[in-house]
Structure 1
Amino acid sequence: MTTGLQVRNVSKNFGGLRVARDITLDLPAGARTALIGPNGAGKTTFANLIIGALEPTSGSIYLDGHDISKLPEATRVGAGIAKTFQITNLFRSLSVRDNVRLPILERERRTASFLRRYDGDSAVEEEVEKTLAEFQLLPLADHLVRNLAYGQQRLVELALTLSLKPRILILDEPAAGVPSSDSHLIIDAIKRLPADLSVLIIEHDMELVFEVANRIIVLVNGTILVEGTPQEISQDPKVRELYLGAGHG
Structure 2
Amino acid sequence: MTSGLAVHGLSKNFGGLQVARNLTLSLPNGARTALIGPNGAGKTTFANLLTGVLKPTSGTILLNGKSVGKMSESERVRAGIAKTFQITNLFRDLTVRENIRLPILERERRTNKVFCHSDGIPELECEIFQLLEDLALTPLADKPVRGLAYGQQRLVELALTLALKPKVLILDEPAAGVPSTESHLIVQAIKRLPADLSVLIIEHDMQLVFEVANRIIVLVNGAILLDGTPQEVISNREVRELYLGADHG
Closer, same or farther: CA 197–127 of 1 in aligned 2, 3 Å: same
Q: How far does residue 227 in structure 1 lie from its aligned partner after superposition?
A: 1.2
Question: Would the aligned equivalents of 2:5 and 2:61 in 1 still touch at CA under 8 Å?
Answer: yes
Q: In the TM superposition, what are the counterparts of 1:201-240 in structure 2 within 5 Å?
A: 201-240=201-240
Residue type of the alignment partner of 1:142: D
The answer for the alignment partner of 2:160 in structure 1 is: 160
Residue type of the alignment partner of 2:189: A
SS in structure 2 at match of 1:98 = helix
Query: What CA distance in whole angstroms lies between the structure 1 residues aligned with 2:90 and 2:230?
Result: 32
Q: How far does residue 85 in structure 1 lie from its aligned partner after superposition?
A: 2.9
The answer for the alignment partner of 1:63 in structure 2 is: 63
Question: Would the aligned equivalents of 2:215 and 2:230 in 1 still touch at CA under 8 Å?
Answer: yes
Question: Would the aligned equivalents of 2:89 and 2:157 in 1 still touch at CA under 8 Å?
Answer: yes
**TM-score, normalising length from structure 1?**
0.96
The answer for the alignment partner of 1:35 in structure 2 is: 35
1:149 aligns to 2:149 (yes or no): yes
Query: What CA distance in whole angstroms lies between the structure 2 residues aligned with 1:83 and 1:222?
Result: 20
Q: In the TM superposition, what are the counterparts of 1:79-158 in structure 2 within 5 Å?
A: 79-114=79-114, 118=116, 120-158=120-158
Residue type of the alignment partner of 1:118: C
Unaligned runs of 5+ in 1: none
Question: Would the aligned equivalents of 2:85 and 2:158 in 1 still touch at CA under 8 Å?
Answer: no
Q: How far does residue 246 in structure 1 lie from its aligned partner after superposition?
A: 7.2
CA deviation vs aligned residue, 1:155-210 (integer Å, no higher than 9, x gap): 00001100111010000000100011111000000000000000000000000000
Residue type of the alignment partner of 2:223: T
Q: How far does residue 247 in structure 1 lie from its aligned partner after superposition?
A: 8.2
The answer for the alignment partner of 1:77 in structure 2 is: 77
Query: What CA distance in whole angstroms lies between the structure 1 residues aligned with 2:246 and 2:165?
Result: 38
* Paired positions, count: 246
Q: In the TM superposition, what are the counterparts of 1:13-32 in structure 2 within 5 Å?
A: 13-32=13-32
CA deviation vs aligned residue, 1:190-249 (integer Å, no higher than 9, x gap): 00000000000000000000000000000011100111000110110110121112789x
The answer for the alignment partner of 2:241 in structure 1 is: 241
Identity %: 71
The answer for the alignment partner of 2:195 in structure 1 is: 195
**TM-score, normalising length from structure 2?**
0.96
SS in structure 1 at match of 2:241 = helix
Residue type of the alignment partner of 2:116: Y
Question: Would the aligned equivalents of 2:92 and 2:144 in 1 still touch at CA under 8 Å?
Answer: yes
Question: Would the aligned equivalents of 2:36 and 2:43 in 1 still touch at CA under 8 Å?
Answer: yes
1:4 aligns to 2:4 (yes or no): yes
SS in structure 2 at match of 1:181 = coil
Query: What CA distance in whole angstroms lies between the structure 2 residues aligned with 1:102 and 1:192?
Result: 22
Residue type of the alignment partner of 1:187: V
1:180 aligns to 2:180 (yes or no): yes
SS in structure 2 at match of 1:243 = helix
Query: What CA distance in whole angstroms lies between the structure 2 residues aligned with 1:171 and 1:113?
Result: 29
Unaligned runs of 5+ in 2: none
